[in-house]
Copies of this chain bind each other. A is one copy, B any other.
Amino acid sequence: MKGNFTFCNPTRLHFGTDAMSALAKELANFGPTVMLSYGGGSIKRNGIYDQVAAALAAAGKTVVEDGGVMPNPTVEKLREGAAKAKACNADLILAVGGGSTIDYAKAVSVSAWCDEDPWEKYFIRFEEPSCRIVPVGAILTMAGTGSEMNGGSVISNHAAGLKIGKVFGPDVFPKFSILNPEFTFTVPRRHMVAGIFDVMSHILEQYFSGDDDSTSDYIAEGLMRSLVASSRAAVANAQDYEARSNIMWTATWALNTLIAMGKPTDWEVHMLGQAVGAITDATHGMTLSAVSLPYYRHIMPYGLKKFARFAENVWGVASAGRSPEAVAADGLAAFEAWMREIGVAMSISELGATEEMLPKIADATFILTGGYKTLTRDDVLSILRKSL
């Protein structure tokens, strides 16, 4: 690996069927007022809310309810949550849910005591927090975003037609996260596979970049092999604990900065997917799957060596005596077959996008420069058209 970097990840993770038993000890590290952030009613139906409420009561905490965090958390909800956290002087924001809820909690944590508008400061100007940061703890109910062990936060501004991710530093990472794979058993199948594809996309977008021999790429290959094996098992049986636990753990390590260390990263699929999401409000993982194959087939000639390696090391494509082009194409074909097998969205039309929307989606697509090919606006439009 060539790059200079600092790695620091202070989040404490409690993993497994007994993970919730660590909550009492974690709560003892914080003051009396806890803002409890969560999404819709699913945690009330599956009993997780009751477990958390009991632990908070036993710890003598004052609980400020903050439900209704939506799947693509909005800037309006962020402003409301920030005002609430400030008003109650929250000592901890406890996020119970998937990546959206935890992303939201992190955004609130740096906004409650911020004198400026958080959308402008963090998501438009990409500045770092300069105010008091309210600590965040997380109880994860869905595997995918990796938000439980990183500083990422994606917020949607529908009025502006924008969905933007900001990556905060270790001060904003959750102080602790509770990961019980059983909590993911009741996630609807469509959201489970969207989460799985989100994880795959995180890995791929850090893998398809750079030209040196880097340990990070070997770790990425290991994570992908594990994910492919476990996704097949989980699709066959949603209650397969071994598979669900591997998926949850892979999700965490796919996006906690480890596999990006010492190398450039791409992230253009997320830019395209987030632009689709900003216009359609579709499920995040499905926006990524819908644009991935046109994108990767578009950039393959520029990173051919890595695409051939992907084919061999992740999908077991035989390479002896064959051209790298043929090997690489077989790798993407195997990737496509796996996508169809687990059942992710294969087009943006399925997500509600139309030909007429493409210029607007292209406008909302940020162009990044870390991958094998920096896209032009024509490239973006061509990829979106092939994604229809």
* A7-B12 contact, Cβ under 8 Å, with A215-B246, A215-B250: yes
* A246-B4 contact, Cβ under 8 Å, with A9-B9, A223-B218, A261-B15: no
Task: Type the 1/0 row for A39-66, where 1 means its CB is closer than 8 Å to any CB of B.
Answer: 0000000000000000000000000000
Distance in angstroms between the alpha carbons of A152 and B286 in the assembled complex: 44
Give the chain B neighbours of A261 by CB distance below 8 A. 15, 249
B5 pairs with A246, CB closer than 8 A: no
A129 interface hit (Cβ, 8 Å): no
A19 interface hit (Cβ, 8 Å): yes
A376 interface hit (Cβ, 8 Å): no
Distance in angstroms between the alpha carbons of A216 and B14 in the assembled complex: 16
Minimum distance in angstroms from A202 CB to a CB of chain B? 14
A244-291 residues with Cβ-Cβ distance < 8 A to B are 245-246, 249-250, 253, 258, 261-262
Task: Type the 1/0 row for A8-32, where 1 means its CB is closer than 8 Å to any CB of B.
Answer: 1111111111110010000000000
The quantity of this chain's copies bound in the complex is 2
Distance in angstroms between the alpha carbons of A253 and B222 in the assembled complex: 14
A115 interface hit (Cβ, 8 Å): no
Q: Which of A91-99, A106-114, A225-233 lies at the binding interface?
A: A225-233
A219 nearest CB neighbor, chain B only: B222
A242 interface hit (Cβ, 8 Å): yes
Contact of A15 among B4, B222, B250 (CB under 8 A): B4
A residues at B contact (CB < 8 Å): 1-19, 22, 212-216, 218-223, 225-226, 229-230, 233, 241-243, 245-246, 249-250, 253, 258, 261-262
Q: List 22 A-B contacts (CB under 8 A).
A: A1-B245, A4-B15, A4-B16, A4-B17, A5-B16, A6-B12, A6-B13, A6-B22, A7-B15, A8-B12, A16-B262, A213-B226, A213-B230, A213-B242, A213-B243, A213-B246, A214-B242, A215-B230, A215-B249, A220-B222, A245-B262, A249-B261
